[in-house]
Structure 1
Amino acid sequence: MSSASTDDGSPAVDPHSLGARLRSRRRALRLTLAEVAAKAEVSEGFLSQLERDRNTASIATLQRICACLEMNVGELFTEASTTAVHRYRTAHFNAFGTNARKVRITPTTHRQLESFIGEFDPYGTTGDELYAHGDSEEVLLVISGRIEVTVGEHTDVLNALDSVAYSSASPHRAREIDGKPAVALWMMSPPSY
């Protein structure tokens, strides 16, 4: 069975992928790759690869790109859904950071709470850079595996069902440290991602 391709013979990109969402928004704003890359402090080649889902970016880098595109990072991980029920097994996760994937599990209509599930492959991370967003109360709960969480200058190792609460305005980062898959849940109130 052959895979889908575009008119120019290149592989078709999932229209709900992170890259397709970035490209669609950039085009809607009538911005060039060069304009967005310069403002976001990334190379044009990197941005092009990201839009074609051939590369991933840290949350900090996605924040800079999304700021140029006048959108929230959370929009990149939101599934189109007409129901409040989220099915983990059929969820469309988007890659981010290094060896990590994320999906929003609360509908965008929720105004008081925003939550995401993230999967980390061995040694996966949200990125080398710490990042911050808004000024929400945020909780990271480790569902499985072990994750090192840095908030500001403080670092903790969390095991399954351990959690940490912090302000989303504090620079933070998460990474899997045992070389095994891990799953985490982020919850923010009010939404700020």
Structure 2
Amino acid sequence: MSIDIGKRLKEIRKSKGLSQRQLASRSGVTNGSISMIEMNRTSPSVASLKKVLEGIPMSLSEFFSVEEQEAEQYFFTKGELKELSPAILSAIGINGNIDQVSIKQVGDASRHSLQILYECYPPGADTGKDMITHEAEEGGIIVSGEIEVTVDNQVQILKAGDSYLFDSRLKHRFRNISTGDCIIISACTPPSF
């Protein structure tokens, strides 16, 4: 499922009773920037989109969550995990071969202060040479396979049973340099995407 970022921003802005000019003023961006995003004439960086959403205010997780659950759900089957779309992955800075990476979310992260993910990196999958940063802390356990994780200037190959925990504001990257899939169960707080 792909989200039309411009259409979504326009719907949310209007639902909050804001004009483009008002949102631009609140966000500290130009009116033209809001207009260009809403018409899909520009694709905002994660930093730009976060800045615009702060004027609403709204998190990236809330922005990309299009499903509303009527009742609180506490348990989820494997089939109920929500695949995060390439648009979401791109918005957080995953700029490598995102079509290969599968990241599934447990429940609706916009309703919680913790985001839990089931991640699959096939051989050659990479979050990109441009390292990722976001406002959170994250940790995970390698369930199977192995993955090269770079945090700041440290690089480590982690195998099944190994784990990681770091401040996500540090530049980081995940890259599967092995010949098999790597499965990771991870958590992020607060939810970042």
Q: Tell me how far 1:67 sits from its aligned partner.
A: 2.8
- Residue 160 of structure 1 is matched in structure 2 by 160
Report the AA paired with residue 67 of structure 1.
K
TM-score (norm 1): 0.64
Q: Which residues in structure 2 correspond to 1:68-147 (within 5 Å)?
A: 70=53, 72-75=59-62, 76=64, 81=69, 82=71, 83-93=73-83, 94-95=85-86, 96=89, 97=94, 98=97, 99-107=100-108, 108-111=110-113, 113-134=114-135, 136-147=136-147
Structure 2 CA distance for aligned equivalents of residues 140 and 175 of structure 1: 15
Q: Structure 1 residues 176 and 74 mapped into 2: Cα distance closer, same or farther (>3 Å)?
A: farther
Structure 2 CA distance for aligned equivalents of residues 68 and 144 of structure 1: 37
Q: Tell me how far 1:69 sits from its aligned partner.
A: 5.6
Higher strand share: 1
Structure 1 CA distance for aligned equivalents of residues 187 and 66 of structure 2: 14
Report the AA paired with residue 142 of structure 2.
V
Q: Give the number of aligned pairs.
A: 150
Q: Structure 1 residues 119 and 77 mapped into 2: Cα distance closer, same or farther (>3 Å)?
A: farther
Q: Which runs of 4+ in 1 moved over 6 A?
A: none
- Residue 149 of structure 1 is matched in structure 2 by 149
Query: Which structure 2 residue ranges, 5 or more long, are not aligned?
Result: 14-34
Structure 1 CA distance for aligned equivalents of residues 143 and 163 of structure 2: 9
Structure 1 CA distance for aligned equivalents of residues 180 and 65 of structure 2: 23
Whether the 8 Å CA contact 1:147–1:158 is kept in 2: the answer is yes
Structure 2 CA distance for aligned equivalents of residues 154 and 122 of structure 1: 21
User: The residue matched to 1:133 in structure 2 has which SS?
Assistant: coil
- Residue 50 of structure 2 is matched in structure 1 by 67
Report the AA paired with residue 91 of structure 1.
L
Q: Structure 1 residues 150 and 72 mapped into 2: Cα distance closer, same or farther (>3 Å)?
A: farther
- Residue 184 of structure 2 is matched in structure 1 by 184
Structure 2 CA distance for aligned equivalents of residues 167 and 101 of structure 1: 22
Structure 1 CA distance for aligned equivalents of residues 132 and 59 of structure 2: 14
Q: Tell me how far 1:23 sits from its aligned partner.
A: 4.8
Identity %: 21
Q: Structure 1 residues 109 and 73 mapped into 2: Cα distance closer, same or farther (>3 Å)?
A: closer
Q: Tell me how far 1:171 sits from its aligned partner.
A: 0.9
Structure 1 CA distance for aligned equivalents of residues 104 and 65 of structure 2: 5
Whether the 8 Å CA contact 2:117–2:186 is kept in 1: the answer is yes
Report the AA paired with residue 112 of structure 2.
H
Higher helix share: 2
Structure 1 CA distance for aligned equivalents of residues 102 and 112 of structure 2: 22
User: The residue matched to 1:139 in structure 2 has which SS?
Assistant: strand
Query: Which structure 1 residue ranges, 5 or more long, are not aligned?
Result: 1-16, 41-62
Q: Structure 1 residues 101 and 188 mapped into 2: Cα distance closer, same or farther (>3 Å)?
A: same
Q: Structure 1 residues 77 and 162 mapped into 2: Cα distance closer, same or farther (>3 Å)?
A: farther
